Structure 1
Amino acid sequence: MKKDLYLMRHGQTLFNKLHKIQGASDSPLTNKGILDAQKVGQYFQKQHLTFDHAYSSTQERASDTLELVTKQSYERVKGLKEWNFGVFEGESESLNPPHAAGQISYGDFFLDFDGESATQVQQRMVRTLQQIMQVDNTQQVLAVSHGGACFMFLLNWLDYAQVKQYLPLPNCCVLHFTFENNKFTFLEMLNVAH
């Protein structure tokens, strides 16, 4: 039986606004981030979209976003956390490395700086969301995560030529997937906050 996953990126944060690298570190939602998350919640209400279960990353910007979208109870899950960028955390985004020839992500770059590789983030997200969708009495799920983590998850199911039309993934965008036989099928990106 097909199930639905609505995978959302958190609202705009202070670090997003200041163009700072924000992975394992955290910063608060801006007023825009708050208003955008509320718009998504209003959209879900107008569409009569309800969720059997809701989950967020353990990072505050994700849980704060979820609490603005819905008042239902939810579970915080470490596997939904953002890519850890190691010693680059909190630094200017201008320090992000250029992609190596033929690469579509940062690959293993951050491993040498106490961070995660692209593959580690992707495998963590896929494993976590598969486990979430296999929970009993689950038909429709909302999960709030992060830009880099959502990008790597999306790349597991689509090729880069398909993914790049959605980049950069905007704050508060919602990626809608179906889930069947342990596989996700991407349907659409909802960008109702913008």
Structure 2
Amino acid sequence: MLYIMRHGKTQWNKEQKLQGQIDIPLIEEGRQAAITAREKNKDLHFDVCYASPLLRAKETAELFLEGTDTPIIYDDRLKEMSFGEYEGSLGYFDDPKNPVNVLFVRPEAYVPTGSAESLEKLSERSKSFLDEIVYPQVKEDPHKNILIVAHGALGCSLISHIKKTPLEHFWDNLIGNCELVRLL
């Protein structure tokens, strides 16, 4: 089985700042959510966890798996989508003048500006992770429990590949902070 979890809440989540690959730690609320998720899912055993190396995902994985022998392997392909110079911006969701706005309103029309990552690049990263890491393990042992701890857009990309979601419905796959979703 494959499970995906989004990291716990950060100060930037709370302030509705666009995080991307800026390395923001969890706030206490995010830490508590990871601990609560651990208690809620204490009967689940994970054979391996793959996590983004960004601090908010690392902390979430460590707290969620505390007291278990589950190895955590960090993989750069699980980092959040890069929003380039727009990381840290406010109002991106409600301001049509913000170039990142279209990503959240009409993802199929998103064209990155500056150093921001395209959805195509994000898709390639997430697909390579699934193809090279997840699918071979699931094929070899369908009973193996694999956990991925990552981010909002990256999680949507992974889930979109698995569910074959059209790009215009990309955000339908967004999971909440410390929400655990079972796939495959």
Return the TM-score normalized by structure 1: 0.77
**Which deviates more, 69-78 or 16-25?**
69-78
| Counterpart among 106, 111, 114 of residue 108 in structure 1 | 111
Deviation at 1:44, TM superposition (A): 1.8
Distance 1:174 1:84, change over 3 A: same
Residue 55 of structure 1 aligns with which residue?
A: 50
The match for 1:80 is 78
When you count helix as a share of all residues, which structure comes out higher?
A: 2
Deviation at 1:106, TM superposition (A): 6.3
How far is 1:21 from its partner? 0.9
Alignment partner, residue 188 of structure 1: none
Offset of 1:108 from its aligned partner?
2.7
Going from structure 1 to structure 2, the CA distance change for 1:162 and 1:120 (only over 3 Å counts) comes to closer
Percent identity between matched residues is 27
Residues 1:25 and 1:121: Cα distance change in structure 2 (over 3 Å): same
Decide which of 68, 83, 105 is 2:63's aligned counterpart: 68
Q: Which moved more, 1:156-165 or 1:89-98?
A: 156-165
Closer, same or farther: CA 58–165 of 1 in aligned 2, 3 Å: closer
Rounded to whole Å, the distance in 1 between the matches of 2:74 and 2:109 is: 27
CA distance in 1, matches of 2:114, 2:39: 41
CA contact (8 A) 1:107 1:119 kept: no
- Find the residue that maps to 2:41 and give its secondary structure: helix
User: Which has the higher mean CA deviation after the structures are superposed, 112-121 or 148-157?
Assistant: 148-157
Correspondence list, 1:41-190, <5 A? 41-45=38-42, 48-71=43-66, 72-94=70-92, 95=98, 97-99=100-102, 103-104=106-107, 107-109=110-112, 112-133=113-134, 134-135=136-137, 139-156=144-161, 157-159=163-165, 167=174, 169-178=175-184
5+ long unaligned stretches in structure 1: 179-194
Post-superposition shift, 1:103? 3.5
Question: Which one is further off, 14-23 or 156-165?
Answer: 156-165
Whether the 8 Å contact between 2:6 and 2:180 is mirrored in structure 1 is yes
1:165/1:148 Cα in 2 relative to 1: closer, same or farther (>3 Å)? closer
Secondary structure in 2 matching 1:54: strand
What is the alpha-carbon distance in structure 1 between the residues aligned to residue 82 and residue 180 of structure 2? 22
Structure with the higher strand share, 1 or 2:
1
SS at 1:69 equivalent = helix
What TM-score comes out, normalization by structure 2 length? 0.81
